[in-house]
Chain A
Amino acid sequence: KNEVEQSPQNLTAQEGEFITINCSYSVGISALHWLQQHPGGGIVSLFMLSSGKKKHGRLIATINIQEKHSSLHITASHPRDSAVYICAVPGGMNRDDKIIFGKGTRLHILP
């Protein structure tokens, strides 16, 4: 069974800072998801990646399959980036393995 660890659990930073959130997992996977949950509760899928790097605006996600590790970066952070960021991976390599979520990183960007 896959284990997912996120760090840090909580992060407070000043507006403009470069943010890094980490996710490690224990079993090889087909793809990893990064989700964002806003204070209002809505969940948005940010990235789904299986190798390399993806970029969307100020958000960058990288994954290292060999090291079983992914990072989510936010450049020029803004208070509106304040949210919980959740990493999710399949439970295993089987096609129908259910998804497992990390406990999330609560990010607070101060103006």
Chain B
Amino acid sequence: DAGVIQSPRHEVTEMGQEVTLRCKPISGHNSLFWYRQTMMRGLELLIYFNNNVPIDDSGMPEDRFSAKMPNASFSTLKIQPSEPRDSAVYFCASSLRSSGGEQFFGPGTRLTVL
């Protein structure tokens, strides 16, 4: 298995632009997580899905952030409009189950908003 796949690996954009991050979880995993990591706040859970359904999105910073999981093999995290304070590394992870299950992380997308 190729593991969790994220794209793009790096994204540089200007303030106000829409940004879409993509994730393909490990086949057979039914939980998917989006995390953000910054120097100031460390790793934070933004949202997670169980069987393609969003379970907890309380970590999503504000309405500019949205996430979808249209099927078991694909998820997107969208920021519209982007702001410089959104600059961070965004990780996607998947697991066989949402609570207590070992999570497998993707390589991350490094986002820079100028």
Contact = CB atoms under 8 A, between A and B. Distances in A.
Nearest to A44: B105
Interface size range of chain B in the complex: 20 to 34
Contacts of B14: none
A9 to B, nearest CB: 11
A72 to B, nearest CB: 15
A10 B98 CA distance: 30
Interface residues of A, number: 24
A45 B104 contact: yes
A97 B50 CA distance: 12
A35 B42 CA distance: 13
A95 B91 CA distance: 22
A96 B56 contact: yes
B55 interface: yes
A90 B6 CA distance: 24
B42 A101 contact: yes
B102 A41 contact: no
A76 B44 CA distance: 32
B91 to A, nearest CB: 6
A103 B42 contact: yes
Given A96-B55, A96-B56, A98-B59, A45 B102 contact: yes
Interface of B: 33, 42-45, 48, 50, 55-56, 58-59, 89, 91, 93, 98-105, 107-108, 110
7 contacts: A31-B100, A33-B102, A43-B108, A94-B99, A95-B98, A98-B59, A101-B44
